[in-house]
Amino acid sequence: MKKLFYTAAALICAILVAQSATRSKKADIAASLDIFNAIVKEIQSNYVDSIDAQKSVRTAIDAMLGSLDPYTEYIPQDEKADFRTMSSGQYGGIGSFIMQRNGNVYISGPYLGSPAARAGLRPGDLIMVINGDTVLGKTTPEVSEKLKGPAGTSLSVTVKRPYVSTDSIITVDITREKIQNPSVPYYGVVGNNLGYIQLTSYTETTPNEVKLAIDSLKNRHHVKGLILDLRENGGGLLESAVKILGYFLPKGTEVLRTRGKGVLDEKVYKTSTTPLVPDMPLVVLTDAGTASSSEITAGALQDLDRAVIVGNRSFGKGLVQTTRELPYDGLLKVTMAKYYIPSGRLIQAIDYSHRNEDGSIQRIPDSLTHEFATKGGRIVRDGGGITPDITVKYPELSRITYNVVRDNWAFDFANRYRAEHPSIPPIDQFEITDSIYNQFKQSIDPDKFNYDKVCETILERLREAAKIEGYASDSLDAQFNNLAAMLKHPLDKDLDTHRSAIAPFLLREIAERYYYQPGAVRAALRNDICTDSAINLLHDPIRYKQILTATNKK
C-alpha cells in the first residue's frame, strides 16, 4: 500500500517539475491528480485491511516534497503552533528544556528567570505527574504539550529528584508565562577589552537582542572589538539577518539578493538603519552548524570585508523558504528562491535538482565551484558554504570523552554535585579540582559504562581476519593476547588519561546548574580554542588589517 502512495507521489512530483521545464498543460496535472484521487478511493474501498487514509495521504505528500529538498514541507493544523514557535521564539509555558531518557521525560535545563527556574525545578528532575495525570512512559512531545498553555494559566508538576538524601518527590505549582526563547543566551567581555555575543537563532526578536548586547558592550564596557559567535546557529528569519547586518554596515548597503523561478522574481535587500558599530573590529565564528540566515550574516560581512571569519566551513544552505496557506488550516513551507550574497556568489552546497541514479545527493565538489571577489578584491568561492579566513583545527574527541557526554555521565554528576553543594564560586574562579574529578570517576559504574574501546575492537577484527586468511597459529595467538593485554586499560586510567578533554564538559555542566545557560556559555569559553583564536587576532590589529586587505586579486 505504501509503495502505491510513493508511486503516486512521485508521479505528481515528476509532472509538477516537468511543468517548469516543458510548460506542460494544466490538463496533464489535473489528470495526474485525478489518478491519485482514484488510487486513494480504491484503496480506501477495496484494500483487504483497514487503513488510516489520512496517514497514508500524508506519507504520499511527504514523499513528493521529500524528492524536492529537505526544506519544503507540509505543516498540518496540529503542527502549526510548534512551527510558529520556531519563527517567533515565543510560546506559553514554563520555560525549560526537557529530554527523553530511559522511556521517561526529564527536566534538562530551565531558562534563567523562567517560571520553571523560580519554582525550583532542576536538570535531572524526572517529570512524573502534570495536573494529576501521570506522564511516566510518555514521549517528549506529549509532555511538552501538557506543559505548554496560555500565559497566566496554572499547572501542578510532580517530579522525582535524585541525589537529595534519598530520592525526593516534589510537587510545585507553576503559572505559565509567555516564554521568549533567547537568541542571545550570553554576551560579555572576553580578553580584557573585547565583546563576545553568542547568537543561536534568527527569530522576530533577534535584532533587538543583538542591539541590546552591542549597546551594552560598547557603552557600558567600552570594548575595542567584537566577536559574533554563529556556531551551531541553524538560521531562521532572513529579515532578521538583514537587520543585524545593518548594525555593522553603512545604511543603504546591499547585503543580499534572492532570485526565484521567474526573471522578475528578484528581490534586493539593503540595510536600512544607521550602524551601531560601523568601524569596530569584528570577528565572526562559524562551523558546520552555521546555516541559512547565519550564513547570510557571515557571508555578507566577509564579502564586504567588514569582518574576519574564524572557525570552520559553514553548512551551505543558500535556499529561501516562504509559507503558503493551505485548505483545512494547513501550511506549505516551500523553497521559493536562492539567495546571493554581495559578491554575487550562491553558497548552496547541494544541488537537489540533480540527483544520482539511485536518488542520492552529494555536495558540490570544490573543483566545480567558482571564484568571486570581495569588495576589496579578496578571492572567495561559491557552492559550499562560507570558508573561513582563518581555519581552526579542533583536537579529535576521544571515544571515552564521547561516551561520557553521550551517556549523560557528566550530566548526572553535575546534578549530584548541585544536590550536595548549595553554591560554587563565580564561573571564572571555579575549577574542576583533583577532588571533584575523583568524585566524578567514583560516580561511574564500570559495569554500566558503555565504552567502545576502538583499539580492542580493531584487534579482535584482525584476529578474526587472520583466522579466515589461514594465518592462525599458537604463536600468533599468543602475540595477539600479549597485544590485547597491552591495549587493555582500566576505565579509571582512561578517565585520567583524557581528563583534559573531559573536565571542560564537567565544568560546563556544573556551571549550568548554578548560573543557567549564560553560566554554561561562560564556562565553555574558558576552553574554546576558536574564541581564543579570535581574541588573539583582535589583539593584533596589523594582522587583522592584513587579512581584510590581502592582495590576492587576479
Distance CA 423, CA 297 (A): 39
What is the distance in angstroms between the CA of the first residue and the CA of the last residue of the chain? 59
Which is the catalytic residue, given 317, 343, 389, 533?
317
Q: How far apart are CA 415 and CA 408, in angstroms?
A: 10
* Residue among 260, 373, 412 nearest 321 (CA): 260
Does 317 participate in catalysis according to the annotation? Answer: yes
The three three-digit cell numbers of residue 270, written as one number: 539593503
Cell of 502: 573531559
The residue behind cell 573590529 is 281
Q: pLDDT for 449-483, tens place per residue?
A: 877 666 777 888 888 888 888 888 888 888 888 88
| pLDDT of 9 higher than 80 | no
- Condensed to tens digits (0 to 9), the pLDDT of residues 527-536 reads 999 999 999 9
Residue-range domain boundaries for the chain: 2-67, 91-180, 186-390, 399-451+492-537, 454-487
> How crowded is the C-beta side of 76, counted as CA atoms within 13 Å?
8
CATH of 91-180, one of 3.60.20.30, 3.30.450.40, 2.30.42.10, 3.40.50.2000: 2.30.42.10
Backbone angles phi, psi at 173, to 5 degrees: -100, 130
Task: Determine contact, residues 372/343, Cβ cutoff 8 Å.
Answer: yes
Residues in the chain: 554
pLDDT digit string, tens, across residues 312-369: 999 999 999 999 999 989 999 999 999 999 999 999 988 888 777 777 787 888 888 8
pLDDT for 5 beyond 70: no
Q: Which three cell numbers stand for residue 487?
A: 591495549
For residues 171 and 450, the model is more confident at 171
Report helix, strand or coil for 178.
strand
Condensed to tens digits (0 to 9), the pLDDT of residues 229-258 reads 999 999 999 999 999 999 999 999 999 999
What 3-state DSSP class applies to 191?
coil
Arithmetic mean of pLDDT over the chain: 90
Q: Please give the residue that has the higher pLDDT: either 466 or 268.
A: 268
Look at residue 24 and tell me whether its pLDDT is greater than 70. no
Give residue 66's Cα distance to chain centre. Answer: 21
370/1: higher pLDDT: 370
**Class of residue 500 by CB neighbours under 10 A (exposed 0-12, middle 13-18, buried 19+):** exposed
- Spell 450-484 as b/e; 16+ CB within 10 A means b: eeebeeeeebeeebeeeeeeeeeeeeeeeebeeee
The dihedral over CA atoms of 380, 382, 386, 390, expressed in degrees to the nearest 10, equals -30
Concerning whether 292 is annotated as a catalytic residue, the answer is: yes
Residue 253 and residue 304 in contact, taking contact as beta carbons nearer than 8 Å: yes
Give the position of cell 554500566: 448
Residue 245 φ/ψ, nearest 5 degrees: -60, -30
Cell 517529570 belongs to which residue?
127
Residue 158 CA to residue 20 CA, distance in Å, equals 56
Separation of alpha carbons 265 and 263, rounded Å = 6
DSSP H or E run through 206? helix 206-215
Catalytic choice (292, 293, 314, 343) = 292
125, 229, 303, 494: the active-site residue: 303
For the cut 70, the answer to whether the pLDDT of residue 200 exceeds it is yes
With a cut of 80, say whether residue 439 has pLDDT above it.
yes
Q: Please report the pLDDT score of residue 25 as a whole number.
A: 67
pLDDT, average across residues 295-309: 98
> What is the C-alpha separation between 61 and 132, in angstroms, rounded?
38
For residue 359, the 8-state DSSP code is S
| H-run or E-run covering 400 | helix 399-406
Beta strands 390-391; 308-311: pairing state: parallel
Residue 506 neighbours by CB under 8 Å, 6+ apart: 410, 413, 414, 432, 436, 437, 440
What local confidence, expressed as pLDDT, does residue 551 receive? 64
Q: How wide is the angle at C-alpha 386 spanned by C-alphas 381 and 390, nearest 5°? A: 100
**100 beta partners:** 105
206-215 vs 238-245: helix crossing angle, rounded to 10: 20
Q: What cell numbers appear for 455 in the block?
A: 583499539
CA angle 240, 178, 122 (to 5 degrees): 105
Single out the residue of 411, 426, 404, 412 nearest to residue 514, CA to CA. 426
- pLDDT recorded at residue 13: 53
What's the confidence (pLDDT) of residue 552? 54
Amino acid at 265: D
Assign domain 186-390 to its CATH architecture. Alpha-Beta Complex (3.90)
More confident: 212 or 55: 212
Say what the pLDDT of residue 554 is: 43
Q: Does an H or E element contain 177, and which?
A: strand 177-180
Kindly report, residue by residue over 358-374, the tens digit of the pLDDT: 777 878 888 888 999 99
Please tell me the predicted confidence (pLDDT) of residue 19. 45
Alpha carbons 271 and 304: distance in angstroms, whole number: 13
User: What residue type is assigned to position 188 of the chain?
Assistant: G
